């Protein structure tokens, strides 16, 4: 039993979890459970945080008894909690788990939960169209999750598009499998979708849009997307300057490599007798690099001044 557990639980090197053993058994709207132990301090009971977008939603201490952990000689380090939707400020589609402040997962755990409170930043709704049946389960600033099928032929895959003022912002096909939608040959269950939203295309930090299925509007009320203004600016900057930054990084790497080779070459040839030549080569290269930095700085200043 101990070997079976230990194979799964060693902390990743460099993650801050090297001194921990842990395993996440389940992440669902009904239960989040697992265990976590600090092997360097067995008296310490780790704190487990469940987070979304950097915000702690739920917290629990790993201090409960579990028979298999006792048999494995690990101790009372189990935890479990029931996620309470009342704490949500917006719909969520995935979460991260932290143990004593250290992130456990490399990829987020899927967890779709809807905000039940009035004034939530996002929404969920049943699709309103006579030819389609479906539901939007959650909307966040960068993702829409749900399912949809055509009433006349459920096994036709519908195209889902987010539209703002007639312009397509994002599109996908509702063809992912969901067990609760599978009803034999007549309905194979491949009707769910995850629509990733390209934040850099957003017209502003707060705007209204519509969801279309095969060109037909299906949302009964306008969908409002909201996010932090700084997040929007960062995503737009990253998109607009991705190629420039890539070229700039390549220039820096090439220049540093050239400087290294030039200095090394001059030093070997002169064997220390004429280091001034090598220094001059280096200074010339640094001056050229500085000029490129100045150009990039002017481009960035112009970009942000135009968007103020």
pLDDT in tens, 253-282: 776 677 667 666 655 555 555 556 656 666
Alpha-helical regions (H) of 184-274: 229-240, 242-270
Question: By C-alpha distance, which of 59, 125, 121 is closest to 89?
Answer: 121
> Which residues does residue 223 pair with via DSSP β-bridges, in sequence order?
209
Which CATH number belongs to the domain containing residue 40 in this structure? Answer: 2.60.40
| Structural contact between residues 110 and 94, judged by C-beta atoms closer than 8 angstroms | yes
Encode pLDDT of 57-104 as tens digits: 999 999 999 999 988 888 899 999 999 888 887 788 899 999 999 999
Residue 236 in any domain: the answer is no
Residue 60 in any domain: the answer is yes
Q: Kindly state whether residues 129 and 214 are assigned to the same domain.
A: yes
End-to-end Cα distance, the chain? 61
Residue 139 in any domain: the answer is yes
Residue 203 in any domain: the answer is yes
Radius of gyration of the chain (CA): 27
Q: Kindly state whether residues 102 and 131 are assigned to the same domain.
A: no
Count of beta carbons in the 10 Å neighbourhood of residue 2: 12
Number of structural domains (the chain) is 3
| Structural contact between residues 89 and 115, judged by C-beta atoms closer than 8 angstroms | yes
**Residue 145 to residues 67, 158, 164, 193, Cα–Cα distance (Å):** 38, 14, 18, 6
Encode pLDDT of 244-253 as tens digits: 666 666 666 7
Q: Kindly state whether residues 209 and 109 are assigned to the same domain.
A: no
What six digits make up the tokens of 5?
């557990």
Range of the domain at 300: 241-306
Q: Kindly state whether residues 85 and 24 are assigned to the same domain.
A: yes
Encode pLDDT of 180-215 as tens digits: 888 876 688 899 999 999 999 999 999 999 999 999
């Amino acid at each position: 039993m101990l070997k079976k557990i230990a194979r799964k639980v060693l902390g990743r090197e460099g993650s801050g979890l090297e001194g921990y053993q842990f395993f996440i058994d389940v992440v669902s709207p009904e239960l989040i459970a697992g265990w976590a132990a600090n092997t360097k301090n067995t008296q310490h009971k780790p704190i487990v945080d469940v987070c979304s977008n950097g915000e702690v939603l739920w917290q629990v201490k790993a201090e409960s008894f579990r028979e298999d952990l006792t048999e494995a000689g690990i101790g009372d380090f189990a935890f479990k909690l029931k996620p309470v939707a009342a704490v949500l400020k917006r719909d969520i589609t995935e979460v991260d788990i932290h143990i004593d402040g250290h992130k456990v997962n490399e990829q987020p755990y899927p967890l779709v939960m809807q905000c039940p409170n009035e004034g939530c930043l996002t929404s969920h709704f049943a699709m309103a169209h006579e030819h389609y049946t479906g539901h939007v389960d959650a909307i966040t600033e960068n993702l829409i999750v749900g399912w949809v099928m055509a009433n006349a032929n459920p096994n036709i895959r519908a195209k889902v598009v987010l539209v703002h003022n007639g312009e397509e912002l994002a599109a996908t096909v509702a063809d992912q499998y969901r067990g609760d939608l599978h009803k034999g040959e007549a309905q194979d269950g491949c009707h769910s979708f995850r629509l990733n939203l390209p934040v850099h295309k957003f017209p502003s930090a707060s705007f209204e849009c519509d969801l279309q299925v095969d060109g037909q509007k299906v949302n009964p009320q306008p969908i409002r997307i909201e996010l932090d203004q700084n997040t929007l600016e960062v995503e737009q900057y990253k998109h607009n300057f991705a190629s420039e930054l890539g070229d700039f990084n390549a220039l820096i790497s090439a220049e540093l490599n050239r400087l290294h080779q030039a200095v090394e070459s001059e030093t070997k040839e002169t064997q220390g007798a004429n280091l001034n030549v090598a220094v001059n080569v280096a200074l010339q290269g640094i001056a050229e690099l500085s000029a490129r930095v100045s150009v990039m700085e002017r481009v960035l200043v112009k970009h942000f001044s135009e968007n103020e």
